[in-house]
Structure 1
Amino acid sequence: MTATPPQPYAQQVAPRLSSRPRRRAAALRDAVGLVLLPLPLLAGFAAVLPAAFAGGGTRRWFGGGRGESARAEAQAAKDAAAAAFYELDTAQRDLRISIETITAVDSSPAARRVAADFDALGRRIDEVSHRYITAVDAHDLDRDDLEASVASRARAELTGAKDELVRVKQELDRYEQSLGALLDKAETQLARLAPAVERARQALLAASTALDAVRGSGLRADDLAARLAALGPELTKLNQGAGQHGVPETLQRADRVLRDAEAVRAEAERLPERAAETDRRLVSLRTRAQALTTRSAQVEPVLSELRRRFTAACWQDLQSVPEQAAEAVKQAELKLAEARKARDEQRWPDATALLSTVRALLNSTDEAVSAAGDRLRQLNAVAKNPQQEIERTRFAIRDAQRLAMAGRSTPDPRHARPLDSAVARLERAVGTLEEGRHPDYWHFLTETEAVRNTVADVVAQIRQERGGAGV
């Protein structure tokens, strides 16, 4: 019987790498860029592999009977041991790929224990492999003068070596099964790696393109250019690969670059509209400031009429409005000039902040200028017909009293007390209108408004309580 010499290792393993370990190996090499080293045991046993796998060349068989049978049994044991050695070797190589996948992605204590456990298994594999190689070298089954007793001893040693190889292979299989969760996690991260890096690169390209377009329109966008330039070193590290910087760190870096680049792109695309909006706000706020200057000049005549027709308590708090309005408008115009300069220099955050300050100044001035005219109108109305204000307030009180009594024979004291106080307060306010020739109408108006606010609070409390009770 002539045995075929073993093929080179790469040809032996190629069909098996179509399985899951081969996919893992491809993923690891492509994504992480790790160089898989050959197993230590193969380096030591390379010289003896042909002899271990060979079934012997063409030989003549002598003897017969018991001798031939012993030689055949020994040869069968040798072939079985070679097959077991081959299966263990292949399983170890496949598992090494899984271990390197895990350790390349995961630096946790659990992953470090995995590597240590695999090294311990490797030493056990070296031991049983050495026994197998020793048994193969110790017996030349092709000798013409092979004795039956020697063949029997060879069969026993080779069978024992095979059994140990099988047992260690089973240990290796059980160990591989225990790696399921860690390996799935590592493979998931590896599957994310290449797309994440590519998305980051594309985001940087899109940001650069958007920035070029903005600059082409005459906008400098220096702050955006600086932010984009700051991402350059990050891109360099992405290009260096996960093999140098680690998978988790590379994933985090890719996500960070993607987020920052997309922010730069979005701001660059909005920049022309931001410039146009800044220009519109400059014009609008300048027009508003000019209008307020005109309106401020009308406050003094209003104050004169208030002084002439009503008591000091009705207008004293408005005395400083003309001066305050003029000062606020002056400050607004100075801030507008600063905003115009910031816009011309394309300092967009500064321009936006200054315009917000201008708007706040003009809003407060507008309220103060309007307050004088509103005060005069309110006082004129109540002086002409105070009964309308009184009835309005009494109606609010009566409406709240009806709500407080709804479904009850007596009101809740928590509701009745503030409503009774509101009635008394209104009567006192009405009484002030009969004091002297020039009643303090402003005090009367503030009192009636306070009464209505109190009543509104009681109504809100009643509705909240009844709503919470499902009524």
Structure 2
Amino acid sequence: MLLPVPLLLAAAPAAFAGGGTRRWFGGRGESLRADAQAAKDAAAAAFYELDTAQRDLRISMETITAVDNSPAARRAAEGFAALGERIDAASHTYIEAVDAHDLDRDDLEPSTASKARDELTKAKDELTRVKTDLDRFGQSLTPLLDKAETQLARLAPAVERARQALLAASNALDAVRGSGLRADDLAARLAALAPELTKLNQGAGRHGVPETIQRAEQVVHAADAVRAEAARLPERAQEIDRRLVSLRTRAQALTTRAGTVDPVLSELRRRFAAACWQDLQHVPEQAARSVRQAEEKIKEAAEARAEQRWADATSRLGTARALLNGTDEAVSAAGDRLRRLNAVAKDPQQEIDRTRFAVRDAQRLAMTGRHTPDPRHARPLDDSVARLDRAVAALEGRHPDYWQFLTETEAVRNTAARVVSEIREERGTGA
């Protein structure tokens, strides 16, 4: 049966209210629900943006703290932790606001929708403020992050260089051993680097970026040194062999030369005062002793060479060379003494003239551009003139000490040369 139209219209509200359908508030109610939903969506977007920014910045902070332990880096870590607390608080407020209001409820009251809108808007605003501060903080990290990224960019190449340096050193050592040289000391030095390679392989995450870069550089330096010494080892062995032959020959020659000292001393004793040769009378004995000692060191060096103890061989050869040098000088001094004494005994005037010329040349330089000489220059030159005169006068005795005379004239010339050097240095600096 059909109902009259008025009755049908009267029954309509009851029909829409039952059966699980949404309660109807009219236009304003739905508008508040929509506003609240929009506020919820905006808050969710702000929450997502803040969470993304925090995760990105956390990666930057981990990069910085992995590399940098400076006060600035520690302050940055503290600042990020403080921002993290603010982010947690803002996120908690947002989540509470979302959980407190079910905007899809059928019986959502307009006042509840309005309250939800306000709380969600407030949560969104706080999330936005914290993100703004987070962004500003991230910008302040740029210098620290650039520095850290530069360090990280150095890390992999540094570790690779260390590995390649170790490989090159190992190959060089193998080549040396293949030529018959043991190179035990180099092998031990290379083996000592194995723990360092282990630490490099363990990575910077365990040992730190700066420490790993530094360790890699140290390994490169040590491995390069082993490689270079291994490459030089065959040449070093050949050089030691050459020096052994050379020093043996020199020791034999000095033995022969030392035998000429006794005749020289005999002539010195016969022709000149004792003061001219007394300091030389022990030369033959000292020369023979030094040559014997040198020969013993040469023998020890040869044994070390045979056992491939390169450092010991080099050290012994150095000692032998020093002994032979001293012997050579002592033997030469005897012959040179006789030659100089013969020359001055024959014609002392040549030595006198040579010395006077040196003093006068210094005096002329001291007077150049001056009316009176500087006392600092005139006094030692005047003393030198008097010293030379005394040395010449000493030659008038029956048994003149020609060696003392030569010592004095040499001292006078040295004084003149020193004064000349001082004058030129002062004038060269504008004094």
**Identical aligned pairs, as a percentage?**
79
**Secondary structure of 1:334's aligned partner:** helix
CA distance in 2, matches of 1:322, 1:402: 46
1:42-441 matched pairs, under 5 angstroms:
65-436=27-398, 438-441=399-402
**Cα RMSD for the two superposed structures:** 2.0
Bigger mean CA deviation after superposition, 216-225 or 406-415: 406-415
CA distance in 1, matches of 2:50, 2:237: 70
- Alpha-carbon distance in 1 for matches of 2:93, 2:403: 110
Q: For structure 1, which segment, 409-418 or 263-272, has the greater mean C-alpha deviation from structure 2 after superposition? A: 409-418
Moved more, 85-94 or 119-128: 119-128
**Equivalents in 1 of 2:372, 2:133: separation in Å?**
85
Distance, in Å, in 2 between the alignment partners of 1:265 and 1:70 is 81
Q: What amino acid is the match of 2:312?
A: D
Q: CA deviation at 1:139?
A: 2.7
Q: Give the letter aligned to residue 464 of structure 1.
A: E
Post-superposition shift, 1:70?
Answer: 2.3
Partner deviation per Cα, 1:343-370 (whole Å, 9 max, x = no partner): 1111111111111111110011000111
Distance 2:143 2:267 in 1: 86
Partner Cα distance (1:390, 1:333) in 2: 44
Deviation of 1:113 after TM superposition, in Å, equals: 4.0
Superposed displacement of residue 114, structure 1 = 3.3
Question: Taking structure 1 as reference, are residues 433 and 246 closer, same or farther at Cα in structure 2, changes over 3 Å only?
Answer: same
Partners of 2:365 and 2:71 in 1: CA distance:
68
Under a length normalisation based on structure 1, what TM-score does the superposition of the two structures give? 0.83
Q: Does 1:455 align with 2:413?
A: no
Aligned to 1:44: none
Structure 2 SS opposite 1:433: helix
Letter in 1 for 2:103: L
Structure 1's unaligned 5+ residue stretches are 1-58
**Judging changes above 3 Å, is the alpha-carbon distance between structure 1 residues 312 and 222 closer, same or farther for their aligned structure 2 residues?**
same
Length-normalised TM-score, structure 2: 0.90
Amino acid at match of 2:346: K
Greater mean alpha carbon deviation, residues 71-80 or residues 399-408: 71-80
Distance, in Å, in 2 between the alignment partners of 1:129 and 1:184 is: 30
Give how far 1:65 is off.
2.7
Q: Per-residue displacement from partner, 1:294-343 (whole Å, max 9, x unpaired)?
A: 11111111122222222222222211111111111010000000010111
Q: CA deviation at 1:191?
A: 1.6
Deviations 1:70-96 (A, max 9, x none): 232222212111110110110111111
CA contact (8 A) 1:61 1:68 kept: no
Question: Aligned with 1:218: secondary structure?
Answer: coil
Q: Which has the larger radius of gyration?
A: 2
Q: Give the conservation status (yes or no) of the 8 Å contact 2:23–2:107.
A: no
> In structure 2, do the counterparts of structure 1 residues 61 and 200 end up closer, same or farther at CA, with 3 Å as the change threshold?
farther
CA distance in 2, matches of 1:330, 1:73: 111
* Separation in 2, partners of 1:153, 1:376: 122
The answer (yes or no) to whether the contact 1:403–1:459 under 8 Å persists in 2 is yes
> How has the CA–CA distance of structure 1 residues 434 and 198 changed in structure 2, closer, same or farther, with 3 Å as cutoff?
same
C-alpha offsets along residues 202-248 of structure 1, whole Å, 9 cap, x if unaligned? Answer: 11111111111111111111111111111111111110111111222
Alignment partners' CA distance in 2, 1:465 and 1:135: 90
Quick one: distance in 1 between partners of 2:396 and 2:49?
Answer: 113
Cα distance, 1:61 vs. partner?
A: 11
Q: 1:61 to 1:282 in 2, by over 3 A?
A: farther
Aligned counterparts of 2:275 and 2:115: Cα–Cα separation in 1: 125
CA–CA distance in structure 1, aligned partners of residues 232 and 429 of structure 2: 47
Q: Distance in 2 between matches of 1:457 and 1:128?
A: 86
Shift of 1:381: 1.3
> How far does the alpha carbon of each residue in 1:6-28 deviate from its partner, in whole angstroms, 9 at most, with x for none?
xxxxxxxxxxxxxxxxxxxxxxx
Partner of 1:465: 426
Instruction: Provide the rounded CA distance (Å) in 1 between the counterparts of 2:182 and 2:306.
Output: 11
